[in-house]
Each structure stands twice: as C-alpha cells, then as structure tokens.
Amino acid sequence: MTPDEKIAELHGIRTPQHFRYVPGIPRLGIPPLGITNGPAGAGPGHQFPQLRAKALPAPISVAASWDLDVAHRYGALAAQESRDLGSDLLESPDVNVIRTPQGGRSFESFSEDPYLDARMAVVSIEGIQNQHVLANVKHFIANNQETHSMNIDEQVSE
C-alpha cells in the first residue's frame, strides 16, 4: 500500500459526496467500506442524500427493559437497516457508562450500571453481527459530556 492508501484506509474520506466512507483499493482486492452511524438505529451514513430508516427507541429505553432478547433484536434491526442503506459497518453500540443524567449522549448509551451496560452491549453486538454487519463499539470511556465535544481534553488516570 502506498502512504496515501494507508491514510485513506485509516481515516476514510469526507467529501460533499461521501461521509463515513472508506474507499476500496481494487488493485489489492480491498472493497470499499460504507459506515452508518448508530447507536439509536441507523443514523447518518455514507450516502447523500440520507436515505430513510426507521426511528428506533433510544437504547437507554431498551436497557430499562432488562430484556436481553429485546437488545439482541434491536441490534439486529439496526444492522438490517444499515445493510439496506448499503453499509457494512454500524457504529453501535455505545457502551459509555452514564455518569451524569444531563450528558448529551446519555440517551444513546444503555445504562449507568456497568453490569447491565455490558450485558446489553454483548447481545446487541451479536444481533448486529448476525446480520453480517460489523459492529463498532462507540464511546468506550470518558465521553460523558457534549460541551465543546470536539475539543475535550479528558484526563484519565491509569
């Protein structure tokens, strides 16, 4: 791979025609990778204009059910929608444990309880992968607020 190809594969591209898109490299047999944002269903993806998808309940409401089957079906449905939109990867689930209720992304995570969060995430990932879509776990740690979200300097001890 050339240096430019390596950079494109690591970062993807963002143009007026593409967003959340990693170009393929045909000469190496590497297919393109379309990405759809989650985790509250199939959100913005790599296509313009944005194609329609179902509005799903917020993942925090799924976790409130304590029903692992519901979380599995939720992941499968979001993945099916992503695949129908032409994507190969769904940016979901969000596993950041909720620390403050007013956090900007609290609705898209599962819970403030680490055990419940983990259980819901695992079955959601299984549901996504059962649809032959890649699951991309989001916001693993230290993403509990949205103020100046592009310029956050989190200090996390070892």
Identify which of 149, 123, 125 has the alpha carbon closest to the alpha carbon of residue 135.
Answer: 125
Which residues, listed in sequence order, are joined to residue 109 by a DSSP beta bridge?
94
Q: Let me know: does 77 contact 40? Beta carbons within 8 Å.
A: no
Identify which of 91, 72, 74, 80 has the alpha carbon closest to the alpha carbon of residue 22.
Answer: 91
* Tens digit of each residue's pLDDT (9 = 90 or more) over 63-97: 999 999 999 999 999 999 999 988 999 999 999 88
Q: What is the pLDDT of residue 144?
A: 67
Domains and CATH numbers, the chain: 3-140 (3.20.20.300)
pTM of the predicted model, to two decimals?
Answer: 0.86
Q: Please give the average per-residue pLDDT across 49-69, as a whole number.
A: 90
Fill in the DSSP letter of residue 32.
P
